[in-house]
Structure 1
Amino acid sequence: MRRKYGRLRKKANVVVFPGTFEKLVEKGLTSVEKGEFEQAVEAFDQAIVYEPDFPEFLGPYAVALYETKDFERAKEIAARLLHSGTANYIDVMELYLTISIQLQQYDEVEMTIGTLIDEGIVPDALLSKFRYLRELNGRLSERFAEDEPKIQTKPLTLEEFLKLDTLTQQYALASLEGTDLNDMIPLLKGIVELPEVAPLILTFALTLLHQAGYEEKVTIRKFNRERVVIPAELTMPGQDSMTLEVLDEIERLLFKEPSRLEMAKGLIEKFTITSFPFGWGNYEPKEVAEAYLNYIEYLFTGESFAETELSCYIQQIDNDSDLL
């Protein structure tokens, strides 16, 4: 249960009405749960002015900043949470290290992980995760840092990959973009043909096979759908003619409502990436656009919407894309 504070707070010399801080925190937490990270950051930015050291929302705040690519502030908030004595120290440390990798602070990551492992701070159950995070950091350091000696890393096996959590799987694949993928093709092919892998991970692996020019057939299974494709021949997410026509139609319908239009574009982008290589089926672009119109109205008002096969599919993709 979330703690409530009833005392009066002051911002400068102005008394803040009771409940203001709590409402901001609640709004931020709810926004994170919905994947609305920009709204979460906006709420937490206001809340932290009132309670700079209140630990309850620092974790979600750091996540929201990370998702909006404000990595410098995300690291600052994660560090503040680490120093607060949080009970979830290892989880927060993993987030802190992930942010540091994004900031290309590879030496700090290597030193920190080494210290954590050497001093026995990492639980045995999480050792493999931190060791792989260390290896990933080394691979990225090799790729981006200048004047560093090259370190040969052994390709990850499918069994090792499946032991990683979804976030680490994502970074493992992201680290391969733009590299020579010849040695990784068996792993990537194995990933895309496993329906139990998260949909977004399947998308990342499939786009890497496309990058590698892989011309053999693979079978993709997502959302109770199955399709045989040749990765080299695929059009990348969001670049197909159907998506472009849906976007044109949604702009026509919502050109006077910019907030709803931006939400619609974001939902469509999430759909094309998460569902790839599947689309909306045999619906016309106008039907798809109208389904998004109804779904957005539901998101804005909370009122029920017509639960057609298409609208339920759109909602499913929206929900599943927030799980990564």
Structure 2
Amino acid sequence: MRKKYGRLRKKENVIVFPGTFEKLVENGHVAVEQENYELAVEAFDQAIVYEPDNPEFLGPYAVALYETKDFQRAKEIAARLLHSGTADYVDAMELYLTISIQLQEYDEVEMTIDALIDEGIVPPDMLNKFNYLRELNGRLSDRYAQDEPSYRMELFTLDEFMKMDALAQQYALASLEGSDLTDLVPLLAIIVARDDVAPLAITFALTLLHQTGHSDELTVRKFGWEKRIVPAAMTLPGQDDLTKQVLEEVDRRLLQDPSRLEMAQGLIEKFAITAFPFGWGTHQAEEVATAYVNYIESLFSGEQLPETALNLLIQQIDNDSDL
């Protein structure tokens, strides 16, 4: 029987070999997952020629462009994603607004957020995120309006940072991605070493220091734990071998139950980011995977889990995280 390949695509009147577009998109996705954003951009640059409005790759394409500091193109792709009819409209809008802040388009960001909230487009569980995004946008707008280059290098002092709540701290640090962080390294090192900073904010500060290649050893404290770490030499959140093994084991166990699988993946990712640079202690991948499968079942059934150290740890991180 003749194999069916689907519709043929053409590029400048030349028929493209079947599967070319799909392979480019797959390569781009893999590159994003591996944080090889330059390679992802190369793949998506070719894929967009064939299907310029396909929402399958526009999101990661915009993210890859953002990470390579090509903010103007990132905004254009994010705008295409918004107009593509994507089911994740609110998430796409959050990405679009984050890019717009990098482009210092503060008035547009403010008006857009106001309109989204006034028209009830933002769901209740996302209101805090958008309100803090608006707060960050306003604060950056006030600083940049002074038109002094020094403000571009240090957006806040330690005192200002400590007066923010946890979500505002996260957005403040996230806004520094892609910037020249040279003058901010001392401040970031202080933030990492404090035990009164939100766990996620410490994670973001650590990843920024990793970005700068910071080679001094720092002491990190979270959830009563303490660890010495060199940011330049650390593995990024979720990229360690144990987390990868846990995800693989959960994928194997929940393959036939997509809803529980997605939930488990989200919980594991939340743990990896929130607890970073700490993990599940001495527990093996199979033990951790079993604990997550049982935890999800308990959420559905309402049954109480045994109060083991691992179960309590998983519940604590899930409950304490603002991710």
What TM-score does the superposition give when structure 2 sets the normalisation length? 0.59
Q: 1:167 offset after TM fit, Å? A: 2.2
How far does residue 136 in structure 1 lie from its aligned partner after superposition?
1.9
The unaligned stretches of length 5 or more in structure 2 are 1-87, 98-111, 121-126
**CA deviation profile, 1:255-278 (whole Å, cap 9, x unmatched):** 111111110000000000000000
Give me the whole-angstrom Cα distance separating, in 2, the residues matched to 1:97 and 1:269: 22
Please give the alpha-carbon distance, in whole angstroms, between the structure 2 residues aligned to 1:94 and 1:298.
28
Describe the shift of the 1:260–1:187 C-alpha distance in structure 2 as closer, same or farther (beyond 3 A): same
1:251 equivalenced with 2:251 (yes/no): yes
Query: Structure 1 CA distance, aligned partners of 2:132 and 2:158?
Result: 24
Distance 1:95 1:316, change over 3 A: same
Do 1:249 and 1:285's aligned partners in 2 also have CA atoms closer than 8 Å?
Answer: yes
Q: How does 1:1-324 map to 2 (within 5 A)?
A: 68-71=91-94, 75-80=114-119, 95=130, 98-99=133-134, 134-137=138-141, 151-153=149-151, 155=154, 156-322=156-322
Q: CA deviation at 1:227?
A: 0.2
Distance 1:93 1:229, change over 3 A: closer
- Mapped to 2, the partners of 1:138 and 1:313 lie a distance apart of 41
**Counterpart AA for 1:152:** S
SS at the partner of 1:304? coil
* Shift in Å, 1:74: 6.2
- Distance in 2 (CA, whole Å) between partners of 1:94 and 1:184 is 25
Structure 2 contact 221–227 (Cα < 8 Å) conserved? yes
- How far has the Cα of 1:93 moved from its partner? 11
Is contact 2:129-2:167 (8 Å) kept? Answer: no
Q: TM-score, normalised by structure 1?
A: 0.59
Residues 149-189 of structure 1 deviation map (CA, whole Å, 9 limit, x = unaligned): 77430622212210122222122111111111111011101
Q: Is the 8 A contact 2:271 2:314 kept in 1?
A: yes
Structure 2 contact 132–171 (Cα < 8 Å) conserved: no
1:299 Cα deviation (Å)? 1.0
Contact 1:209 1:232 in 2 (8 A): yes
After superposing the two structures, state which structure 1 stretch, 157-166 or 255-264, moved more. Answer: 157-166
Q: Note the aligned Cα RMSD (angstroms).
A: 3.0
Q: Which moved more, 1:151-160 or 1:194-203?
A: 151-160
| Per-residue CA distance 1:86-145 (angstroms, 9 max, x = gap) | xxxxxx99955835xxxxxxxxxxxxxxxxxxxxxxxxxxxxxx6x75342367899xxx
CA distance in 2, matches of 1:77, 1:184: 33
SS of the aligned residue for 2:310 comes to helix
Q: Is the 8 A contact 2:132 2:167 kept in 1?
A: no
Identity across matched positions, percent: 50
Mapped contact 1:75–1:96 kept (Cα < 8 A): no
